[in-house]
């Protein structure tokens, strides 16, 4: 049996807060095969972004406790330290953040930022790193790529910044790409372009991808498999066709019913009542029970 690219076993992430310890990710178990795209969906606060940050080991150590198993390429991620951890971040696993305007460094050009990452992880010269940066900007279809090497983030549109962020994340040839709602801040036309681009690059480069989104339509477009999270827990997982076509969990059914797709003009959206639970005061049993249509 082929070893999975990513293997999470009972991953638990707890934060120490003034209100006490809260569990943001609760015993999450998932696997991701090489070359596969996993769509991670759920409402805000369900633990999607925390899961990605735990995978990249960028959560603040002083107030975060991570337990369980987390293996990438067979390596224990939680056991990485020092040089091994630096090589892992950006080398083995890269991340495309939700808002490139804040993720990109405003005082360095796009070319400088990409080339620095390449030099750090590939050990090549500055000249070769800049050539790689140009190749990546061309790969993500940025017009006039050579001139854009000298552009600062604020000199580019939102769509171009997002493409530059993708180029930066892919420049080190990672095995696993983490995409944290990379299309949320973009208009509909640019969203479609970025989704198609990511899918094309993923197939071309053979990467595994975890694509976090709260948009079911986006998840259906890009994912091979889908995992649904609620209040830090895994509600349901399966192929995209299984989960989005025949959802079993009431929460997944509620998410799909909350879409405007297929509704007649003037019809009411079937929104899920209530709010997600307070992670500091979780209800007993199923976390979704207070909002579940089956229990009312």
> Could you list the pLDDT tens digit for every one of the 296 residues in the chain?
678 999 999 999 999 988 889 999 999 999 999 999 999 999 988 999 999 999 999 999 899 999 999 999 999 999 999 999 999 999 999 999 888 888 899 999 999 999 999 999 998 999 999 999 999 999 888 999 999 999 999 999 888 898 899 999 999 999 999 999 887 767 777 778 878 888 888 888 889 999 998 888 888 888 999 999 999 999 999 999 999 999 999 999 988 888 766 667 777 777 888 888 989 888 888 899 999 888 65
The domain spans of the chain are 6-295
Q: What pLDDT was estimated at residue 200? A: 85
Rounded to whole angstroms, the Cα distance separating 148 from 165 reads: 13
CATH of domain 6-295: 3.40.50.300
Rounded to whole angstroms, the Cα distance separating 215 from 120 reads: 35
Q: What pLDDT was estimated at residue 274? A: 87
């Amino acid at each position: 049996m082929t070893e999975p690219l990513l293997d999470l076993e009972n991953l638990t992430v707890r934060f120490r807060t003034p209100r006490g310890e809260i569990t943001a990710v609760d015993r999450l178990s998932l696997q991701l095969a090489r070359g596969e795209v996993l769509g991670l969906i759920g409402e805000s606060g369900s633990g999607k972004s925390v899961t990605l940050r735990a995978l990249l080991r960028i959560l603040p150590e002083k107030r975060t406790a991570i337990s369980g198993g987390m293996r990438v390429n067979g390596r224990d991620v939680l056991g990485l330290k020092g040089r091994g951890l630096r090589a892992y971040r950006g080398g083995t696993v890269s991340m495309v953040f939700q808002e490139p305007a804040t993720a990109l460094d405003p005082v360095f050009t796009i070319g400088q930022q990409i080339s620095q990452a390449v030099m750090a992880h590939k050990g090549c010269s500055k000249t070769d790193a800049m050539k790689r940066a140009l190749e990546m900007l061309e790969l993500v279809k940025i017009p006039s790529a050579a001139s854009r090497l000298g552009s600062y983030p604020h000199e580019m549109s939102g769509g171009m910044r997002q493409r530059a962020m993708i180029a930066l994340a892919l420049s080190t040839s990672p095995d696993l790409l983490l995409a944290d709602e990379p299309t949320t801040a973009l208009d509909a036309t640019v969203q479609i372009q970025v989704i198609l681009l990511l899918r094309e690059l993923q197939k071309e480069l053979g990467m595994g991808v975890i694509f976090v989104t709260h948009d079911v339509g986006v998840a259906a477009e890009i994912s091979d498999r889908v995992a649904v999270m609620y209040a830090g827990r895994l509600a349901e997982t399966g192929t995209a066709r299984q989960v989005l076509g025949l959802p079993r969990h009431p929460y997944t059914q509620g998410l799909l019913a909350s879409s405007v797709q297929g509704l007649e003009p003037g019809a009411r959206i079937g929104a899920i009542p209530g709010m997600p639970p307070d992670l500091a005061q979780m209800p007993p049993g199923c976390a979704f029970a207070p909002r579940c249509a089956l229990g009312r």
